[in-house]
Amino acid sequence: MSKVSLAKDKIKILLLEGVHQSAVETLKRNGYSNIDYVKTSLPESELVERISDVHFVGLRSRTQLTEKVLDAAQKLVAVGCFCIGTNQVDLDAAKRRGIAVFNAPFSNTRSVAELVLGEILLLLRGIPKRNAMAHRGQWLKSAEGSFEARGKTLGIIGYGHIGTQLGIMAENIGMQVRYYDIEDKLSLGNAQQVENLTKLLQQSDVVSLHVPETPQTKNLIGTAELAVMKKGSILINASRGTVVDIDALAEALEERSLSGAAIDVFPVEPKSNDEEFVSPLRQFDNVILTPHVGGSTQEAQESIGVEVAGKLAKYSDNGSTMTAVNFPEVALPELANRSRLLHIHQNRPGVLTQINQAFAQHGINIAAQYLQTDDNIGYVVIDVDSDHSEVALKELSAVDGTIRARILH
Ligand SMILES: NC(=O)C1=CN([C@@H]2O[C@H](COP(=O)(O)OP(=O)(O)OC[C@H]3O[C@@H](n4cnc5c(N)ncnc54)[C@H](O)[C@@H]3O)[C@@H](O)[C@H]2O)C=CC1
Ligand SMILES: O=C(O)CCC(=O)C(=O)O
């Protein structure tokens, strides 16, 4: 159990994977200067060492925050994923340790949608193949296999932030938009929800995946699904590498049942830009292969830096967990002339009663109390008169079921 109550310059922050400088600037603007900035991800063994005295860590999609790493991170208070996906973090293990995890749910979505739109146009025209041939000195001037996007059907799997934006853009160039989602969704523009995946695959000239990595989306597109896609259609995956069975896709491309594909994410991705990229798809001229850069634009990275660093600073400054992905969400007002204590505990009956009784016994007046729980943990924030803060922390720390207790101010 930790009881962090530190001056801001003692709060140690490790930023990995070259997150945008806007993150550093945002943290500094909020008074956090003890920042270790690393341009790459770190292998587990090095991360275990580097993270041991760190209070906040920031990462992108390459860094694996496993239970082993979290075990070594005895002082860690929160994690900032400077991206949308949080599958690189063991969220449950973090929660069990009272570590809140934040991400940037929107900031790079436009960038992904734009990239996919560009890929749709290029693939429908057969450009990747013509481009590859021209680089080899060959000249394929022909309209064969070259189509306009206008009037074609785009099937979107996962109609969330990215899927909806892509749908609107695609309609603007005259495509018909259909989508499949496990939830009932509000259709934007003229898009139509289709009742099952098979129907979507059968109807679409281009299929684009925008689902999260979950047990249900693992190999969502495999041999059976590729077999029902229209002959000559196109598959795009800029979601997660686990969603498409790459060997099955390679087979479909070999058999020419698909006319092309664009893949940005892979089951195994190189850990650094120095590592070789290995994939059965490398052999195909009609496949656009990109190194997981769907969200990698200056605009997206800058805005992610501000957003996630801002969330870390806010959690550190006032305890707000709004938009945390693994934690009960508590929105908190600014604190003036009082002390604020945070208590993270196992969600079992009687914890709040214990806290309130202990405070009453010691004459600690509770100026404000905020509580949210989920199935596993409870998060209670208590404002008290500053004279009582040390006693209050001692009492909070002694409560049965405490995971963490700390004073913010
Ligand atoms: N290539 C890249 O650089 C990037 C990739 N991503 C990936 O894109 C994914 C989607 O991003 P957003 O649109 O922002 O997420 P989102 O959460 O807004 O939308 C996801 C949609 O997928 C639906 N869904 C979930 N499971 C499904 C299933 N089994 N079948 C059909 N639909 C299902 C959800 O109901 C939701 O509507 C992210 O989870 C992330 O993994 C996100 C940003 C950048
Ligand atoms: O930019 C990155 O490192 C990962 C982007 C991504 O896949 C995400 O935001 O989920």
Q: Is 240 a catalytic residue?
A: yes
Q: Is residue 116 part of a domain?
A: yes
Pairing between β-strand 366-373 and β-strand 377-384 as defined by DSSP bridges: antiparallel
Q: Which atom of ligand 1 is nearest to the CA of 162?
A: 13
- Listed residue (316, 130, 177, 160) closest to 238, CA to CA: 160
Is 210 part of the annotated catalytic residue set? no
Residue 2 domain flag: no
> How many domains does the chain contain in total?
3
Q: Is the ipTM of this complex over 0.95?
A: yes
Which residue, among 405, 368, 404, 402, has the nearest Cα to 385 in the 3D structure? 368
Q: Which of 309, 365, 320, 356 is nearest to 338 (CA)?
A: 365
Range of the domain at 156: 109-289
pLDDT at 166: 98
Q: Is the domain of 150 the same as that of 92?
A: no
Distance between CA atoms of residues 221 and 253, nearest Å: 14
pLDDT tens-digit map of 195-243:
999 999 999 999 999 999 999 999 999 999 999 999 999 999 999 999 9
**Residues 340, 198 share a domain:** no
Residues 223 and 353 occupy one common structural domain: no
Distance between CA atoms of residues 386 and 384, nearest Å: 6
Question: Do 269 and 352 reside in the same domain of the chain?
Answer: no
Taking residue 348's Cβ as centre, other Cβ atoms within 10 Å add up to 12
Last residue of a domain, one of 281, 311, 327: 327
Is the separation of the CB atoms in 294 and 111 below 8 Å? yes
> Which tokens hold the place of 166?
């892509």
Question: What is the pLDDT at residue 272?
Answer: 85
How many CA atoms, within 13 angstroms, populate the side-chain half-sphere of residue 260? 23
3-state secondary structure (DSSP) of residue 243: helix
Ranges of residues in the chain whose predicted pLDDT is under 70: 1-5
Phi, psi dihedral angles at 128 (to 5 degrees)? -55, -40
Residue 5 has a pLDDT of 58
Strands of the sheet with 366-373, listed across from one edge? 366-373, 377-384, 339-346, 402-407
Look at residue 1 and tell me if it is in a domain.
no
CA distance 154 to 121: 11
Asked if residue 143 and residue 22 are part of one domain, the reply reads no
Q: What is the pLDDT of residue 335?
A: 80
Question: Which of 277, 311, 327 is the endpoint of a domain?
Answer: 327
Q: Both 94 and 117 in a single domain?
A: no
- Which CATH number do you get for residue 350? 3.30.70.260
Ligand nearest to the CA of 236: 1
Question: Is residue 60 one of the residues assigned to a domain?
Answer: yes
User: Rounded distance, CA 409 to CA 339, Å?
Assistant: 5
Q: In this structure, are 307 and 222 located in the same domain? A: no
CATH number of the domain to which 311 belongs: 3.40.50.720
- Select which of 55, 97, 161, 292 is catalytic: 292
pLDDT value, residue 1: 43
Q: Which residues line ligand 2 (CB under 6 A)?
A: 60-61, 83-85, 108, 295-296
157 CA to centre of ligand 1 in angstroms = 9
The reply to whether ligand 1 has any atom less than 6 angstroms from the CB of 196 is: no
Nearest to 317 by CA among 12, 30, 26, 22: 30
Encode burial over 129-154: b for 16+ CB neighbours within 10 A, e otherwise: bbeeeeeeeeeeeeeeeebebeebbb
* pLDDT computed for residue 347 by the predictor: 95
Pocket test for ligand 1, best of 211, 220, 236 (most atoms within 8 A of CB): 211
Average pLDDT value over all residues in the chain: 96
Residues 213 and 263 in one domain: yes
Instruction: Clarify whether residues 137 and 212 are in a common domain.
Output: yes
What's the pLDDT score for residue 2?
A: 43
Residue 50 lies in a domain: yes
Co-location of 285 and 355 in the same domain: no
312 and 168 inside one domain: no
269 is catalytic: yes
| In a domain? residue 87 | yes
